[in-house]
Chains A and B, each alone.
Chain A
Amino acid sequence: MELSAFLLQVLNGLDKGSAYALIALGLTLIFGTLGVVNFAHGALFMIGAFCAITVQRLLSISVVTLDETKTDFLGNPLKIRTPYVEQWFGESIGQGLIDWSVPLAILFAIPVMLLIGFAMERGLIKHFYKRPHSDQILVTFGLAIVLQEIIKAYFGANQIPAPAPSAFIGSFDFGVFIGFDPGTLIYPYWRIVYFLFAMFIIAAVFAFLQFTTFGMVVRAGMADRETVGLLGIDIDKRFTIMFGIAAAVAGMAGVMYTPINPPNYTIGMDFLVISFVVVVVGGMGSLGGAVLAGFILGILESFASMREVIEAIPGINQVVIYLVAILILLARPRGLLGRKGVMES
C-alpha cells in the first residue's frame, strides 16, 4: 500500500472518529452523571442537524413575486422568490447570510438544544433514575422514535441538503505540502473544519470539567453522588445542567455534520449504535475512553473499507467495529479506560 493511501485513510478515520467521539462524549457525560443509558442521544444529534435546516429555511423565507414572462410547469406565471434577508440587508449580505447558514445555526442550536435537554431530563428521564437500566433504555428508545417521527412529519422522509459556506467547498491538497504528487492526498475543507470543531468542543468540555468549580463538583458527584449530596450541594440541579450540555454537544455535532451528509430523520440512529459500541469499548463512564475509542474505531473502519482489504477479507467493512469491540472487551472487560465498579453492582 502506498504511503499516501495510508495517510488518506488515517485522515478519514480521524474525521469519522471525531463524529463518533462527539456523540460518545455526550452519552458518557449523561451516563457518568445521571447513570442513565440514553438511547435518545442519537435523536438529539438529529435534531441538531435539523436546527441547521431550520435556520436555512428561516433565512430563506421569501417574498413571492410573479414573473409574467416565464411560466411554471402548469403554464402559470413563474413565482420568483426573493428572501427577505436580501430585501432588508441588500443582496450581497443577504446571500452571504444564507451561504453561512450552517455555521450560524450553531448560535441557534445551543439554546434550543439546552432547552430540549432540560425538558427531556426534568420532564421524563428524572422519573427513571431509580428504575433498572432496561426501563431507561426502553423509555429513551421510545422517545427517540417519537422525536424522529415528529421531525419526519414536519420535514418529510427525504434528505434535505444544507451545503457548507462556499468558501469551504472543495478540497485541500495535503500531499503537495509533504512532497507527494498533486491530487494523491486531498481532503475536503469542510471535513477538516469538522475535525477541528470536534477537537475544540472536546477540549472545551474537558476544560469545563477540569478547571471550573462547577466542573469539579460535577466530577465529585460522578465519583460519589451521595457524599456530595451530604455536603449540602444540590447535585441534581448540576446534573440537569450537564444533561443540557450533553444535548448541546450532540446538537452542535449534528449542525456541523449537515454539509457532510444531507440529513433525514434517521441520521441519529445511524450514529447511535456505533456510538454505544464506542462508549463500551472506551469504558463505561470514562470521558477520555469515549474519545480515544471514537478515534480508534473511526480509523479502523476507514482501513477496513479499503478495496485491497475488502478483497482480501470480504465483508470485513461491515463487521470490523464489532469484531474489534469483542477483542478489546475480551482483553479488557471494562473497556480501554473503564473504571472499576461502573455498571457492575
Chain B
Amino acid sequence: MSSAKNPLKKPVTRRSVLKASAASAAVVSAPMIIPSSAHAYLNEPKGSSVTLGFNVPQSGAYADEGADELRAYELAVEHLNGDGDGGMMNTFSSKELKGNGILGRKVEYVTGDTQTKPDAARASARSMIEKDGAIMITGGSSSGVAVAVQGLCQEAGVIFMAGLTHSNDTTGKDKKANGFRHFFNSYMSGAALAPILADAYGNERRAYHLTADYNWGYTTEEAVRTSTEEMGWETVAAVKTPLSQTDFSSYIAPIQASGADVLVLNHYGANMVNSLTSAVQFGLRNAEANGKNFEIIVPLYSRLMAKGAGENVKGIFGSTNWHWSLQDEGSKAFVKSFGEKYGFPPSQAAHTCYVQALLYADACERAGSHDPCAVGAALEGFEFDGLGNGPTLYRAEDHQCFKDVLVVKGKENPTSEFDLLEIVEVTPAAKVTYDASIFGGELGSCNSG
C-alpha cells in the first residue's frame, strides 16, 4: 500500500523531514540529566555511602599530572574515611571533619578520563553523574576542560570543584554558580611576579612575549603585560605560537636581534619545555641586550613539567600555586602523608585537588546536606586556614580562592630530583586580589538538578 493512499500516513515530504529533524534536535539538545522526583536534588545519597567523581587526565600529554591528582584524591578519601594519618584535616582551621566520611556516609569514588579534551571530559563527567550517581565532580589539568566541565555540572546540578586551571575565565567570564576554584589564576601570577621582576631586573626592560595560541595563553599574556607595563616595562612584540608546535626555533631565533632584553614564555606543559629548551640552546640565557643580561620568564611553573626542561630552568622566575618545600604546618602535614604513601613529594596539582576534596567535604558538614545549593552557600565567603597557602577566602562573588601566591625560581643547585624550584617570595593575598567584576561573566543561580 502506498503511503499516499493511506489517510493515516502522511506522505514524507522535504518539509516534514525538516520538521522532524528540528524536533529531534530540540529533544537531543535538551538537558539529558533528569532527576527523579523522589529526590530533593540530583543524586541525593540514600544509603551509607556517597560517591564523588574524580575527572582527571589519565591519557594524553597531561597524564602524569592527572595521575598525581588521582593520588591526591585517593589520599583525601582515605583521610575523610578516617584512615591514614589525617593529613591536612589536622591542620585545617575548620574542625567539622571527623574522619567518619561526609555527614557520616563513607566516601566512595569513581574516576573519569578527561584526556585533556573538553568533549571527552564532559562525556566522562556526564557518565559519572548519570551512571555512577556522583554528587560532585572535581579535577582536571586544563582551563579548556575546566570551563567545559563546569558548564556541564551547572546544567546537571552538581558541584564542580576545579582542579588545576589557571585561566582568568574559569572564575571570570565563564564562572558558574555550581563551580569553585581553589587554584590561582593568570591575573594573580602577573600581579605577584611584576614587583619581583622589577626588583631583580629593573624598571626599564623590553619584553618579547611568546604566547600559546589558546584561551589560557591570552589571559596570561594579558596579565603579565599589564602588570609589567605598569611598572615601566615596554612590550616589544607578542607572537602567538600554535598549541601543537613542537620546535620553537623559528620563533626563538629572531628574538636576540629584536631589541628585546626579556623573553616571556606564556607556555605550559610541552610548549613550555620545548620553547625554554630552544631559548637556552639559542644562547638567550647568556646573551646581553641593551647593555643588560638577557632574561627569561615562565609565568606559570609546574614542577612536574619543569623536570622535562632539565638544567634549563635554573635561575628562571615564575609563579606557582603551592610547593612542597613550604614550611607551614598544613603543607608539612600534606607532604608527610603523601610522601609516606607514594615515596615522592606531591605536585601543585595534587595539592589543589586534595584541598578541594577536603573543602567540599567540610562544606557538606557545615551545610548539613549534600544539596549543591546548600554546599555552594557554605563555600561562598568561607574563610579558612591551615591548608597550605595561609589564610584563604572563597570569594562569594566569583567562587575564586584568594590566598598567598608563590614566586619561584629554578634552583641553581638542586639536592634531589624533586628540588627544582626555590621559593623567592610568598606574595600575600591582598596584593593579588582584584575586583570581582573586571572579567565580566555572571554566576547565575545555583542548580541542584
Contacts and interface: CB of A to CB of B under 8 A. Distances in A.
Given A74-B339, A188-B283, A158 B250 contact: no
Interface string A247-290: 00000000000001110101100100000000000000000000
A318 interface: yes
Contacts of A188: 281-283
Interface string A11-40: 111011001000000000000000000000
A19 B249 CA distance: 13
A314 to B, nearest CB: 8
Interface in B129-143: none
Interface residues of B, number: 51
A151 interface: no
Interface string B402-420: 0000000000000110110
A227 interface: no
A303 B339 CA distance: 48
B324 A73 contact: yes
Interface string B302-315: 00110111111000
B204 interface: no
Contacts of B281: 169, 171, 188, 190-191, 260
A158 B305 contact: yes
B254 A306 contact: yes
A307 interface: yes
A307 B311 CA distance: 28
B283 A310 contact: no
B246 A9 contact: no
Contact of A4 (B257, B283, B307, B345): B257
Contacts of B274: 159, 261-262
Contacts of A158: 64, 304-305, 307-308
A74 B336 contact: yes
A2 B237 CA distance: 17
Given A158-B305, A161-B310, A261 B254 contact: no
A156 to B, nearest CB: 5
Nearest to B416: A72
Nearest to B213: A318
A97 interface: no
A73 B240 contact: no
Interface string A193-206: 00000000000000
Contacts of B258: 307
A260 B310 CA distance: 12
Interface string B237-253: 10111101011011101
Nearest to B249: A12
A62 interface: no
Nearest to B336: A74
A302 interface: yes
Interface string A167-192: 00111000000000001101110110
B148 interface: no
Given A170-B283, A184-B257, A261-B274, A16 B250 contact: yes
8 contacts: A12-B253, A16-B247, A73-B339, A161-B309, A186-B283, A187-B282, A266-B61, A317-B242
What are the nearest 3 A-B pairs in CB distance?
A: A161-B310, A159-B308, A157-B63
Interface of B: 60-64, 237, 239-242, 244, 246-247, 249-251, 253-254, 256-258, 270, 273-274, 277-278, 281-283, 286-288, 304-305, 307-312, 324-325, 335-336, 339-340, 345, 415-416, 418-419
